[in-house]
Amino acid sequence: MVAVIDSESLAAELRSIILRDLSGANSWQVVLDDDGELVWRHDTETTRRQPARGGLQRFQDAFFMLFPKRYY
C-alpha cells in the first residue's frame, strides 16, 4: 500500500523529523574495527558492546540469540 500526499509543508516537516532521528545524537553507526570486530559509534561515544536502554533489553537480546537466526 502506498499513499502519496502532495504537501510541501508536510514534506518539509517529515524531512526535518527524519534528519533529526538519523543524526549522530539519535543513532548508532556499526562498523568493523581493524580486527574485524563490531564497534558501535555514536556522536559522543564508542562501544564494543551492543547499546541497550537497560537490563531488560540486554536480557531480551540474549534470550532471542537462543533461537535460530532465521526466526529474527
In the 3-class helix/strand/coil scheme, how is 3-45 assigned residue by residue? CCCCCHHHHHHHHHHHHHHCCCCCCCEEEECCCCCEEEECCCC
Verdict on whether the full-model pTM lies above 0.85: no
Residue 72 has pLDDT above 80, yes or no: no
pLDDT at 52 (0 to 100): 85
Residue 2 has pLDDT above 80, yes or no: yes
Answer whether 39's CB lies under 8 Å from 33's CB: yes
> Hey, what's the cell of 12?
518539509
Residues 4-48 have pLDDT tens digits of 878 999 999 999 999 998 887 888 889 999 999 999 998 888 999
Sheet holding 46-47: strands in order across? 29-32, 38-41, 46-47
